[in-house]
A and B are shown apart, each in its own frame.
Chain A
Amino acid sequence: MHDAPAGHWVRPDGVEEDGPGLPRQPGSRSRRSPPLGGVGRAVAARLVVLVGAWALIFLGTEVIPGDFVTAALGQDYTEDLARRMREDLGLDRSVLERFAVWLFSVVTGDFGQSFTTRTDVWDVVAPRLRNTLLLAGMTLLWFPVAVAIGIAVFLAGRVVQRTFRVVTQGVMCTPEFMIAYVLIYLLAVELRLFPVTARVAPSQSMLDQVQVLILPSLCLGIAMIAYAGRLVLSLLTIEEGKDYFEFARLKGFSRSAIAVHYALPAIGPSVLNLFLIYCASLLTGVFVIEAVFGFPGLGDLTISSVVWRDMPVVQFCAVLITTTYVLLYSLADLVSARHADRLSL
């Protein structure tokens, strides 16, 4: 049996009947913003989701069998020592009790001490977070390039557009670390333009650190150019099919003039939405590239903390990333909801 075209329902007996077309974008993203006064409800809903996610993280990290005490004591393990250590670290209380305490500490911003270094979790995470933010920030500099490439390809004509679509499809099917290895091979090993690794130390000057990070950010940037450039091209192609575009054409405007003056402002909110969602995906997207270049960022810290079962650090990293993730997605939702409202006026 053939697949049902959108807008037709297939009844079990095979008879097709007309129906409303399926929505192009189901889920929260296409949902209209609630009427004025509903903002509070939207925020409350986000908060519920956030606390739910925190609870899942806490449960996930608490379910882990073979707790920290067993791992840390190793061969020195004795019942008495383990019990004393558990009491010391507060691990002997019930899960619910610990979650309540933990939730309170998350809200107040006090994340406790790392099990392994016995220093404040924030002190362990802060230098790594700074490194990761530097890399992510440098990667985001490629976003305007991606948008510009999308516009340029749109203006260049059909052959270029088709080629671009095929190439970007290929890039999107390529793992980011593959792009990284190819670039390392070409630019670092063969041409010797960049260092092979990205080891940075606080003692290095800012300029040195930035220089070291050009290649890693380029690896992430190429994937982004494929993704964002392609989306900008699609958005512009949709605008081209609209009446105002044809009207301006008939009035004698050139395609490039219409694209820059009319189509670009029209797709602005969508591009902003895309940017925010990209930022969210970059939070963990940088981890793989960090691993390839041996870069001491948040990803490296999280993985080693997972291996050592240093739960306060794991929980903090997970909470930090998840919270930022939800925040960015909420912002993206807000942008598209406002845009939808404006269109419906």
Chain B
Amino acid sequence: MTRRMIVFCLFVLFFLVAPSVFGTGAPDRYDGLPFDPPSATHLLGTDYLGRDLGRQILNAGRTTLVICIVATALAFALGLGITVLSVLVTGIGGALLTRSMDALIAIPGLIIAFVLVAALGSSLPVLILVITLVEFCVIFRTLRGPTAQVMAQPFVAMSRIRGEGLIYIVGRDVWLNIRPYAVVELVYRFISSLLFLSALSMLGIGVQPPASDWGTLIKLNAAGLLLGSPAPLLPGVFIVATSLLALWTVAGRSSPTARMIVKE
């Protein structure tokens, strides 16, 4: 845990508790005229219905970050699990698993989202499921090489002969060796899931009103752009700030694949 990671955690923690501290601002509470410019009473102005934008952003921040963090964590656990499984299981089962993963990876993330949201409707669990599914494919692709290499090492065979269980082998033998890559990958997946969720909300199949995330706020306030209001841009500033802060925690560390955050 570096100092930078602590800063990032505090940032996230702020958004998780802020709605409780500053009041949730009921969705039916109108404080002023639509698209009021920032003032002393409304630090960030008002939104398209005349609600305090600052409070809206704090509320949306909690939703956004909860979805992204849960989805990233799930994707990571699932990705690591399937990766180890694909290395361990040989024969027809292993081939089938690897081929299925290849097929899943070959489908663009947005298409997966379209199909699943249409099938199950757009709710928080479904959004988490969609993002998890999309991100876990990428994690699988990144970690499979390093994991396969570690698993082929003599000390893993030693552990097996000693009678250690799967949990020990994954937790002690594999994890310690892929950790430098895994941490960078974790941060990249968080940023990617944040951008992906925002895009889904922008397309209207993400978080549904009256609940909102930062992407939804941008979409709903888009009309303000024509009136010269900063309302549509301010939630975006928070998206960018969160991404940059996350990236900053691992700045200078290289990813195993030297890959950028590819938006797919």
Contact = CB atoms under 8 A, between A and B. Distances in A.
Interface bracket on B? 35 or more
Contacts of B226: 189, 196
A288 to B, nearest CB: 5
Query: Which of B118, B144, B198, B258 has the most A CB atoms < 10 Å from its CB?
Result: B118
B103 A55 contact: yes
Contacts of B141: 27
A185 interface: yes
B239 to A, nearest CB: 6
Interface string B147-181: 01110010100010000000000001100110111
B199 A230 contact: no
A64 B114 contact: no
B118 A22 contact: no
A307 B239 contact: no
B199 A288 contact: yes
Nearest to B214: A175
Chain B interface helix/strand/loop/mixed: helix
A10 B106 contact: no
Contacts of B145: 22-23, 25-27
A23 B104 CA distance: 24
Contacts, number: 200
A95 interface: no
A6 B145 CA distance: 14
A63 B77 CA distance: 26
Given A56-B107, A177-B199, A184-B225, A281 B256 contact: no
Contacts of A65: 119-120
B78 interface: no
Interface in B209-264: 215, 218, 222, 225-226, 228, 232-233, 236, 239-240, 243-244, 247, 256-258, 260-264
Interface stretch (B11-19, B28-36, B38-46, B200-208): B200-208
B102 A49 contact: yes
A309 B191 CA distance: 31
Contacts of B104: 53, 56
A303 B155 CA distance: 51
A234 B262 CA distance: 16
Given A12-B155, A181-B233, A185-B225, A22 B149 contact: yes
B258 A60 contact: no
Contacts of B233: 178, 181-182, 185
Nearest to A290: B203
Contact of B202 (A175, A223, A234): A175
Contact of A60 (B115, B146, B262): B115
Contacts of A248: none
Contacts of B191: 173
Interface string B173-194: 1001101110100000001000
B192 to A, nearest CB: 10
A124 interface: no
Contacts of A48: 99, 102
Interface in A247-285: 277, 280-281, 283-285
Contact of B228 (A56, A57, A189, A285): A189
A284 B195 contact: no
Contacts of A314: 114-115, 118
A325 B232 CA distance: 33
Contacts of B180: 3-6
Contacts of B106: 49-50, 52-53, 322, 325-326, 329
Nearest to B221: A181
26 contacts: A4-B179, A4-B180, A9-B150, A12-B159, A24-B257, A25-B258, A27-B144, A49-B103, A50-B106, A53-B103, A57-B115, A60-B112, A61-B115, A173-B244, A173-B261, A174-B239, A176-B263, A178-B233, A181-B225, A189-B226, A231-B260, A287-B203, A288-B203, A306-B117, A307-B118, A318-B107
Interface of A: 1, 3-6, 9-12, 19-20, 22-27, 48-50, 52-53, 55-57, 60-61, 63-65, 169-170, 172-178, 181-182, 184-185, 189, 196, 223, 227, 230-231, 234, 277, 280-281, 283-285, 287-288, 291-292, 299, 302-303, 306-307, 309, 314, 317-318, 321-322, 325-326, 329
User: 8 closest A-B pairs (Cβ-Cβ)?
Assistant: A26-B145, A52-B103, A173-B243, A64-B119, A178-B236, A60-B115, A306-B118, A3-B180
Interface of B: 99-100, 102-104, 106-112, 114-120, 141-142, 144-146, 148-150, 153, 155, 159, 172-173, 176-177, 179-181, 183, 191, 195, 198-199, 202-205, 215, 218, 222, 225-226, 228, 232-233, 236, 239-240, 243-244, 247, 256-258, 260-264
